[in-house]
Amino acid sequence: MNEFAGGAAGLDGPAQYEIRLNGHIDAQWADWFEGLTSTPLSDGTTILSGPIADQAALHGLLRKVGDLGITLVSVNVKVDDPRQ
């Protein structure tokens, strides 16, 4: 029997994320992204970065991206390096 331990990596609580989207986000949509920082890049993508409360909030945010018809490029969680 296979089990998925969703909380095993410690991602069941608040975490810092970087979400890369195809295209640049107009300022009018900034409120939709709940306080995340929007950074347009020269390659034509946008990075949304900042804290997200939990997996449910992350899924809600990704649903909003889909509702806007924006192509999701990547989602990365920023994990603190214990060696630092």
Largest CA distance in the chain: 48
Q: Which residues face 18 on adjacent strands?
A: 49, 76
pLDDT score at 79: 77
Q: What is the model's pTM? A: 0.78
* Residue ranges covered by each domain of the chain: 15-78
pLDDT score at 27: 73
| Alpha-carbon span 78 to 49, nearest angstrom | 10
| Alpha-carbon span 9 to 36, nearest angstrom | 23
Tell me the CATH number for domain 15-78.
3.30.70
Rounded average pLDDT per 10-residue block, the chain, 84 residues? 45 88 83 86 95 94 93 91 54
Q: Which residues face 17 on adjacent strands?
A: 50, 77
